[in-house]
Amino acid sequence: MSSHTIQNPQHSAHPPKQRSRFGRLLRELWCQVVLGAVLGIAVGLLLPSVGKQLTPLSDWFIALVKMIVIPVVFCVVSLGIASMDSLRKAGRIGVKALGYFIALSLVSMLIGLVVANVFRPGEGMNIDPSQLDGSKVPAAANKGFDGLEFVSNIIPESLFGALTGHTIIAALMVSIVFGAALNVSGESGAFLTKGIQALSVVIFKIVSWVMRLAPIGTFGALAAVVANYGTASLQQLGYLVLLFTGTCVVYVVVVLGTIARACGLNIFTVMRYFKAELLIALSTCSSEAVLPQLIKKLEAMGVGKSTVGIVIPSGFSFNLDGSAVYLTMASVFLAQAVGMDLSWEQQLVMVGVMMLTSKGTAGIAGGAFIVLASTLSSVGGIPLAALALIVGIDRLLNEGRVFINVLGNAMAAVVVGKWEKDFDPVQARKALHAHGQEKNVIESKSPEVVEADKVDVH
């Protein structure tokens, strides 16, 4: 009897192990997001009437994320600055980050210009702007860029108002000032810093709960998009979509790949490390949706808390490389479509205006489209009605924009961290390797230990 008791578990150990492997895979967030995406596409294609009604699932998920983004920014930025040895370091990081943002934005816009002028996707369309339905263009698009309004949005009317509103730039300003005050306030500042650290733990626990809903948001978003647009938009303006997508791929491999190699990393390994965040951003078309998780993962791969705390929140307002590529490419496309021949001087002036108008659109699904309209209003020449040509496929173009925005900001934090000697490449490689081998590591543990590890991580 005793021998039977001993042999039975050994004899039946293999099947449970196989089932547990599959179960652990399903518990991975990226896998759940992929399943949500596949199901969403299937529903959109097979049951379009149902898919069109599922947009609220995505809207609710993004709303939940936006609920916690500003508290995350406040905790991360204020703690990052408060923990610095001196405020000079904060200023130095900010200046280096801004320089990097400007350089990459300029490179991105010039790439968009070159591609649009070489391949000329809008040539031969001969569109008459008077025949276009301008009512399809959002009302906000008819408003030009207002520099005073932009500055007013940076300066909040009240301390707490900035933290309860929806403008990340204002929250970032308050967080920087508050963190600087904590840094020079002695014991009182140290006391409050501990309180914010405790608040940060609670906030990130909420983040972990919200992110569990990402597969549902992904399902609703893709079901609605496929149901509403199908393949008609691709047939209408497929060349532009394919050209922009190809440009995004080249940008990731060449530009971001070169930057990654300079930091001792492989861009494909980095993408695998952030695969869950990239999938969520792609499905929701909102870079803001992954900001909290991006911060945690960058810290885990060896980028200093102070660097991450400044670069990432500011990068989501000032370092939107994917949007930069889109803005110049779409502008030249629209000019070609309506038969306008923009000189290089006009295009360079347009780039200068876009360097200003493209700031502060973080987290807004389709925000780059509004920026494009604002730029056309400011520069003049290209009729606003021409925007109706691409309003139907903007959601498709947004996929590439958001992907580059998220990945580009992750690399920005690594670059600035390296410049500041606040980046540990050895720890980064260990984190990237461990993430790639996560499945093998987990399999050596019992399910109870795995669950305990997940709780500790969050």
Domain count, the chain: 1
In a domain, 17, yes or no: no
The pLDDT tens digits of the residues spanning 295-313 come to 999 999 999 988 998 898 8
In a domain, 39, yes or no: yes
pLDDT score at 404? 93
Tell whether the model's pLDDT for residue 216 goes beyond 80. yes
In a domain, 304, yes or no: yes
In a domain, 165, yes or no: yes
User: In Å, how far are 27, 214, 438 from 24, measured between CA atoms?
Assistant: 5, 17, 11
pLDDT score at 130? 60
Among 233-247, 325-339, 353-367, 404-418, which is the least confidently predicted range?
353-367
Closest CA to 310 of 409, 186, 448: 409
Tell whether the model's pLDDT for residue 375 goes beyond 90. no
pLDDT score at 229? 61
In a domain, 164, yes or no: yes
In a domain, 51, yes or no: yes
Tell whether the model's pLDDT for residue 246 goes beyond 80. yes
The CA distance from 391 to 386, in Å, is 9
In a domain, 137, yes or no: yes
Domain coverage including residue 50: 27-457
Residue 411 belongs to a domain with what CATH number?
1.10.3860.10
Kindly report the pTM of this predicted structure: 0.66
Tell whether the model's pLDDT for residue 134 goes beyond 80. no
Query: What mean pLDDT do residues 177-189 have?
Result: 86
In a domain, 4, yes or no: no
The pLDDT tens digits of the residues spanning 29-88 come to 767 877 888 898 889 888 888 988 888 887 888 778 778 778 877 887 788 778 776 778
Tell whether the model's pLDDT for residue 243 goes beyond 60. yes
